[in-house]
Amino acid sequence: DTGVSQDPRHKITKRGQNVTFRCDPISEHNRLYWYRQTLGQGPEFLTYFQNEAQLEKSRLLSDRFSAERPKGSFSTLEIQRTEQGDSAMYLCASETPTGEKLFFGSGTQLSVL
């Protein structure tokens, strides 16, 4: 499968715990994005990387959130001290080199109890 891969697909955690999600983009795509989607809403932009550089961050990305892409390949999104309001689908996407098309993974569904 050469699409965008996200792991895990589902995560259930207790409030206050830390969680980490992983994204493996399509191999020739150097831009990688994180979005968050809640029920009945469209995805909301969180942050994006060009290679290993994090170039843009949304104000939605509080200081409890951190994203990395250490070698310009896979990326991780960590949420510290999770809150119930963090419950959402976290989507990763990678972009074609020409910058026209974004391909999404199937997401990680986070439930904070």
Partner 1 sequence: QKEVEQDPGPLSVPEGAIVSLNCTYSNSAFQYFMWYRQYSRKGPELLMYTYSSGNKEDGRFTAQVDKSSKYISLFIRDSQPSDSATYLCAMTFMDTGRRALTFGSGTRLQVQP
Residue 25 binds to partner 1 (criterion: CB under 8 A) = no
Which of 43/80 has CB closer to partner 1?
Answer: 43
Residue 87 binds to partner 1 (criterion: CB under 8 A) = no
Q: Is the dihedral of CA 21, 24, 25, 30 positive or negative?
A: positive
Q: Is the dihedral of CA 2, 40, 46, 21 positive or negative?
A: negative
Q: Which of 12, 16, 18, 41 binds partner 1 (CB under 8 A)?
A: 41
- Residue 46 DSSP one-character state: E
Q: Which of 11, 75, 86, 107 binds partner 1 (CB under 8 A)?
A: 107
Q: Which of 77, 93, 110, 112 binds partner 1 (CB under 8 A)?
A: 93
Q: Which two tokens stand for residue 111?
A: 């439930």
Which of 3/16 has CB closer to partner 1?
Answer: 3
What does the chain come to in residues? 113
The CA distances from residue 5 to 34, 46, 52, 76, in Å, are 13, 18, 18, 12
Q: Which of 11, 32, 36, 43 binds partner 1 (CB under 8 A)?
A: 43
Instruction: Find out whether 6 and 107 touch, Cβ atoms under 8 Å.
Output: yes
Q: Which residues bind partner 1 (CB under 8 A)?
A: 4, 31, 33, 35, 40-45, 48, 55-56, 58, 91, 93, 95, 99-107, 109
